[in-house]
Chain A
Amino acid sequence: MKNKIGTALGLMTLGLMLVSLFMVFEWVPTEADQGIVQRIFYFHVPCAWVAFAAFGIVAIAGVFYLWLKDQIWDDLGYAAAEIGMVFCTLVLVTGSLWAKPIWGTWWTWDSRLTTTFILWLLYGGYLMLRAMADDTEEVARFGAVIGIAAALDVPVVILSVRLWRTIHPAVLITRSGEHGLEDPRMVITLLVALAAFTALFGWLLRLRFQQLRTRTRLTILRREVALIEAAVGDY
């Protein structure tokens, strides 16, 4: 049953991705001002959505871990943080690849770019802590606190284009509150890409979470075997 869900989710992701690619490269009209490089946007925004959703899950899992002290929440938070980091990296890289031909520079310390980079650094710190320290309750507790605190940057990133002066385009809703995408095909393409990336996120989270559960089981078994071997040795 578990494998069937995983396979179905994987196939759904693949199907949606293929449809999404067809729409991006064949169906959607080319934007008049920016040209074909604007098409980066259709995968750049879903990458940001997945990163934000993943970091939101890290915060929720962190709260539940601190409350219930159940390892399952720590495993979920760790899995989500890693996936969030992968997609946050993709947001920064694809953003730079769009910025070079449009702004004439790979990077600028704009409010949205800077807050996103801070988010990337915060979760980079979280993952470094988890990778370098032992799997103890104390580390998991620290991780949960860092995960919750770092997630506070997510609304700052989202609101940055409204809070500060910025050159980053507010595409979905413009600063005047209007719709940023004029052609309905652009909206549909973005929605399909968002669905594809949501499915991909679900599939990856499931894979990584199951793996961390296996690792937890292995740690418990190792402890049991060591205890038994020590006891047999004493006997």
Chain B
Amino acid sequence: MEHFDYLFAAYSIIFVVIFAYVAFIWRRQARLETELHAMEERLQNLKPVSPSPGVKSAVEN
């Protein structure tokens, strides 16, 4: 089993990097979704009191 340490290191690095990247994506996605829901709620609360034409076009756009 000569050079097994190199083989082990190569496969370990591949899986550690992939798992770290997936964890990074999941964490960021969870944070973004929380922020998105909060923003949608804020927008819903603002809509009924939008009286000016400028406000109307912003919502429509």
Evaluate whether A36 and B52 lie within 8 angstroms (CB atoms) in the complex, with A207-B22, A208-B25, A217-B36 already known: no
For the complex, what is the distance from the CA of A135 to the CA of B52, rounded to whole Å? Answer: 29
Interface positions of B from 1 to 47, Cβ below 8 Å from A: 1-4, 6-7, 9-11, 13-14, 17-18, 21-22, 25-26, 28-29, 32-33, 35-36, 39-40, 42-43, 46-47
Is chain A's binding surface mostly helix, strand, loop or mixed?
helix
CA distance A204 to B46 in the complex (A): 36
Number of A residues near B (Cβ < 8 Å) is: 38
* Chain A residues positioned under 8 Å from B14 (CB to CB): 43, 47, 90, 94
Interface secondary structure of B, over-half rule: helix
- Report the interface size class on chain B: 35 or more
Max chain B Cβ within 10 angstroms of own Cβ: one of A89, A200, A224: A224
CB contacts (< 8 Å) of B11 on chain A: these are 40, 43
A-B CB contacts (within 8 Å), total count = 105
Q: Which partner residue on chain B sits nearest A43 by CB separation?
A: B14
Q: In the complex, what distance in Å separates the CA atom of A231 from the CA atom of B50?
A: 8
Chain B residues at the A interface, C-beta cutoff of 8 Å: 1-4, 6-7, 9-11, 13-14, 17-18, 21-22, 25-26, 28-29, 32-33, 35-36, 39-40, 42-43, 46-47, 49-52, 54-55, 58-59, 61
A206 CB, min distance to chain B CBs, angstroms: 10
- How long is the Cα–Cα vector from A135 to B6 in the complex, in angstroms? 41
With A204-B21, A217-B36 known as contacts, the answer to whether A36 contacts B29 (CB < 8 A) is no
Contact, CB under 8 Å: A215 / B32: yes
| A98 CB within 8 Å of chain B | yes
A225-B52 in contact (CB<8A): no
